[in-house]
């Protein structure tokens, strides 16, 4: 299948999730369920990754800025901007593409292989809307929330280095975080994480929904879901940086 055919099929798939959807009362419990799955199950990994990335960023930035001409608070400023603009949304979403994306593709793929999706279709229920739409909505709510958490914990990681290390004082670090703060950066980070969440959930669901074959193909669908989501995230990252900054 050519990339254009695949893209067309993806767009039609997205259309089918909202076209002829089920009654609205069906979705809230499904969305809540998916939010718990995506949010609480990813909390620990996001917290660990963000804290360590923040700490390492602080150490490496400090190491590269040893100059009497540069105030130490600049380290905090650089850590803040790197975290908000790139590390929190992009890095977190790449991690989540691996965790959430493979999970979604595997779950939906196994439902396809075991004819559970066919069973839903035969009942006259729009399986794409019933199964996928709650996952997309839940991801678009929870992943930006996880990115906010990641940004906070990443800065806390940097602060911990300042507090317990010798490269920068906590006061300088805090001053750096406050200096020249642009609220737009928060909006930018949230926009990115929202777009990435949409890409992760839709690409992974698409890969799972059209799985054919057996156990081997479910594994392949999960792998493709992760690689395609990551590629999608990187392309979208570049486009959003060009458009919004």
Partner 1 sequence: MIEIKNIKKSFGEKVILGGISGKFEDSNNSLIIGASGTGKSVLLKCIVGLIKPDEGDVLFDGRSLFNSSIAEIKKIRREMGMLFQGTALFDSLTVAENVRFPLDMLMGQLGDSEKNDMVMHSLERVGLEAAANKMPSEISGGMKKRVGIARAIVMNPRYLFCDEPNSGLDPMTSIRIDELISEITDEYRMTTIVVTHDMNSVMGIGEYVMFLHQGLKEWEGDNKSILHSNSQALKDFVFASKIMEKLL
State the minimum distance, in angstroms, from the CB of residue 2 to partner 1: 15
Of the candidates 240, 243, 242, the one whose C-alpha atom is nearest the C-alpha of residue 93 is: 240
State the minimum distance, in angstroms, from the CB of residue 35 to partner 1: 17
State the minimum distance, in angstroms, from the CB of residue 10 to partner 1: 19
Which positions ≥6 away from 108 have C-beta within 8 Å? 117, 131, 132, 204, 205, 208, 209, 211
- Number of neighbours of residue 13 by Cβ within 10 angstroms: 16
Would you give the distance in Å from CA 95 to the centre of its chain?
7
Nearer to partner 1, 21 or 175 (CB): 21
State the minimum distance, in angstroms, from the CB of residue 178 to partner 1: 48
- Helix %, strand %, coil % for the chain, to 5? 85, 0, 15
Nearer to partner 1, 110 or 193 (CB): 110
State the minimum distance, in angstroms, from the CB of residue 9 to partner 1: 15
Which positions ≥6 away from 157 have C-beta within 8 Å? 50, 51, 52, 53, 54, 55, 56, 57, 58
Q: CB–CB of 98/226 below 8 Å?
A: yes
Taking the C-alpha atoms of residue 162 and residue 55, their distance in angstroms, rounded to an integer, is 9
Taking the C-alpha atoms of residue 104 and residue 38, their distance in angstroms, rounded to an integer, is 10
State the minimum distance, in angstroms, from the CB of residue 219 to partner 1: 18
Q: CB–CB of 113/214 below 8 Å?
A: yes
Nearer to partner 1, 214 or 231 (CB): 214
Nearer to partner 1, 37 or 192 (CB): 37
Taking the C-alpha atoms of residue 32 and residue 49, their distance in angstroms, rounded to an integer, is 25
State the minimum distance, in angstroms, from the CB of residue 5 to partner 1: 14
Nearer to partner 1, 63 or 115 (CB): 115
Nearer to partner 1, 24 or 44 (CB): 24
Nearer to partner 1, 50 or 117 (CB): 117
Q: What does the binding site for partner 1 look like in residue numbers (CB under 8 A)?
A: 20, 22-23, 25-26, 114-116, 118-119, 121-125, 130
Which two tokens mark 199? 């890409």
């Amino acid at each position: 299948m050519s990339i254009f055919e695949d893209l067309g099929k993806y767009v039609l798939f997205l259309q089918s999730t909202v076209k002829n959807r089920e009654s609205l009362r069906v979705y809230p419990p499904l969305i809540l369920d998916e939010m718990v799955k995506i949010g609480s199950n990813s909390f620990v990994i996001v917290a660990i990754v963000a804290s360590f990335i923040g700490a390492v960023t602080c150490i490496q930035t400090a190491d590269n800025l040893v100059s009497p001409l540069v105030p130490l608070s600049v380290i905090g400023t650089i850590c803040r901007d790197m975290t908000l603009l790139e590390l929190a949304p992009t890095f977190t979403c790449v991690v989540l593409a691996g965790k959430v994306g493979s999970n979604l593709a595997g779950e939906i793929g196994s439902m396809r292989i075991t004819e559970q999706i066919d069973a839903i279709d035969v009942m006259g229920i729009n399986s794409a809307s019933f199964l996928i739409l709650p996952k997309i909505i839940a991801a678009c709510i929870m992943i930006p929330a996880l990115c906010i958490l990641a940004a906070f914990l990443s800065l806390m990681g940097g602060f911990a280095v300042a507090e317990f290390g010798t490269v920068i004082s906590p006061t300088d670090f805090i001053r750096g975080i406050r200096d020249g703060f642009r609220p737009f950066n928060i909006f930018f980070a949230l926009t990115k994480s929202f777009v990435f969440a949409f890409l992760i959930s839709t690409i992974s669901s698409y890969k799972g929904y059209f799985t054919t074959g057996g156990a081997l193909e479910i594994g392949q669908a999960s792998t493709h879901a992760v690689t395609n989501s990551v590629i999608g995230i990187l392309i979208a990252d570049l486009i959003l940086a060009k458009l919004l900054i």
